[in-house]
Structure 1
Amino acid sequence: MAVVCALMLGCALFGSFPSPVPLLFAIAAVGAANAAFPLMRTFGSALLGGVSAASIGLAPVPFVTCSSEKFTEVFTCTGDSPTWHMTGAVLVAGLSGAGLVLARVLGTATLDRRLAALRRGERG
């Protein structure tokens, strides 16, 4: 989970992604950090799922806005900005999905340990 969080923070700080992709990375990093702790796992997973869904929804927006002369001020439409926006949004969605899977695995492992401890206590 720490690796996913570090990757998200690195992309937010050092990636050359146009706005709002760095913000999505930062929010997903907060979700991954929260999902690492049992008490905050549900909130962190919800945050990761929301960021993943939002980034998938935002991925094609620059291509639509840049193809119209009416909305060119919404996103930077010069050079490879729409492509970098879509790349960043897909990376956020992928890393958020990986964080969700890891949170689920951590939750299952914690539950298995607790059940094993209860069973040992009942038999002993």
Structure 2
Amino acid sequence: MIEPCPPPTPNYQLRREKPGSGELKLNVDVACFPDGGYTRINGIIRDHSSLVRAAFSRRLVGCYDPLVAELLAIKTGLKFAKALGVLINILESDCNNAVNMIESFGGCSSPQLLLTILDHY
């Protein structure tokens, strides 16, 4: 069992709202296409004025479990943001199970820790 870390202020929050001035929000979504045999993961980074700062879309061979696909989208989005050199302040997903898994790590949930955790999926 993983012991919870002390509760420092996380580097980002999981919430459905506009980012504040100077903040960025990553929103991810997935779709499985059984007839085509693939899963598409997508993400968009927006600023406080809802301006799209960057976006990604990736096609994965095979239809993934929705939770696994959403976690892969989050992982891909965080790696994408890291490669761009931008800090994500808000992470948004419509998959409550993925959000709950990430939030369960409490104050330890930094983007780098998330990437480490998500490497197992």
Q: TM-score, normalised by structure 2?
A: 0.28
Higher-Rg structure is 1
Higher strand share: 2
Provide TM-score, normalisation by structure 1.
0.28
Which protein has the bigger helix share?
Answer: 1
